[in-house]
Amino acid sequence: MMKLIWLSVFIVCVWFYAEACQPGQERFGGSCYQLLTERTTWDQGDAACSEMGAALAVPDSLEEHQFIWEMFTGNVSAGHLWIGCNDREEEGKWMKSSGGGECNFFKWASGEPNGGDSHIDCMQLWRNGNGLMDDTDCAYQIFVICESPVTLAVPTMSCLQRYADARSSSHCLTGHVIKEFSAKGVIACGSACRDEPRCRSFNLRRGGPGELICQLNNVTRNEADVKNIRLDNGCKYFEF
Ligand SMILES: *[C@@H]1O[C@H](CO)[C@@H](O)[C@H](O)[C@H]1NC(C)=O
Ligand SMILES: CC(=O)N[C@H]1CO[C@H](CO)[C@@H](O)[C@@H]1O
Ligand SMILES: [Ca+2]
């Protein structure tokens, strides 16, 4: 039996702030990362990053630590990498440069840190330790990675399509959700979709009282199986 569903399409245009990193940088979370091409001392690296409006990168989580190490090893096949912590002021107390506060994520290589009270006061991601942390002489010349907050690009207008059928304005795409989180509304959810490279469409679904759940999908409704397009009163589907 053939079932005919009448669809109408609403077009909603909204302004988005497209977040982006500069060419040559890579993004992870809310930061842009850039590898410098020259090997320098820790202080020269620190100065070079701040000249670019950035700072020596500091991993604050295991995921960020892994991202930094993979970005480095994907580009450079030998050598070590400065990151932005040193314990010059007080042995064992690791601080970010230029008043950035304390470093609070540590994943030391086995046997590290071993600098004691000497001048071995700067933190590197150590190739011999598979990218784990090591304290070493700040005067060594090794690679440098800078980190800066994601810059807001010019606002861009985007048009969203919302589909509705004759019976209900509400239907959503299921089975292709790659991320789900609560969001303020269609603009916040759409911005998140724009910032996620795999996002092709999104659902905005009623959650608890006063709560909206944003679901990012990795396909559009035209690419999905019809059985995954469900009428659902608490849910609206959008694509760009
Ligand atoms: C989309 O994500 C689902 C999981 O939600 C996965 O099973 C599927 O392979 C992904 N499809 C594409 C086209 O990336
Ligand atoms: C500085 C540098 O060479 N960065 C490159 C590292 O590798 C990624 C992915 O291969 C490139 O996009 C970067 O430009
Ligand atoms: Ca050491």
CATH of the domain at 48: 3.10.100.10
Ligand found nearest the CA of 114: 3
The domain that holds 178 is classified in CATH as: 3.50.4.10
Residues 166 and 196 in one domain: yes
Residue 56 pairs in a beta bridge with 146
| Domain boundary pick from 149, 165, 181 | 149
Q: Is residue 1 part of a domain?
A: no
CA-based max dimension of the chain: 82
Ligand 2, atom 3: closest residue by C-alpha: 75
Same structural domain, 35 and 132? yes
CA of 137 to the centre of ligand 3 (A): 8
Of the three residues 114, 149, 184, the one that is the final residue of a domain is 149
Ligand 2 centroid – CA 24 distance (Å): 6
In the chain, where does DSSP find H-type helix? 42-51, 62-75, 186-195
**What does the pLDDT look like over 135-182, one tens digit per residue?**
999 999 999 999 999 876 657 777 888 876 666 668 899 999 999 999
Q: What is the pLDDT of residue 161?
A: 82
**C-alpha pair distances (Å), 163 with each of 13, 229, 232:** 14, 11, 12
pLDDT in tens, 79-135: 999 999 999 999 999 999 878 899 999 999 999 999 887 889 999 999 999 999 999
Report in angstroms the alpha-carbon separations of 36 from 75, 192, 204.
11, 29, 41
User: Which residue segment(s) compose the domain that 181 sits in?
Assistant: 7-18+153-239
Residues 6+ away with beta carbon under 8 Å from 226: none
User: In this predicted structure, what is the pLDDT of residue 134?
Assistant: 97
Q: Tell which of 149, 169, 192 closes a domain.
A: 149
User: Taking the complete model, does pTM exceed 0.85, yes or no?
Assistant: no
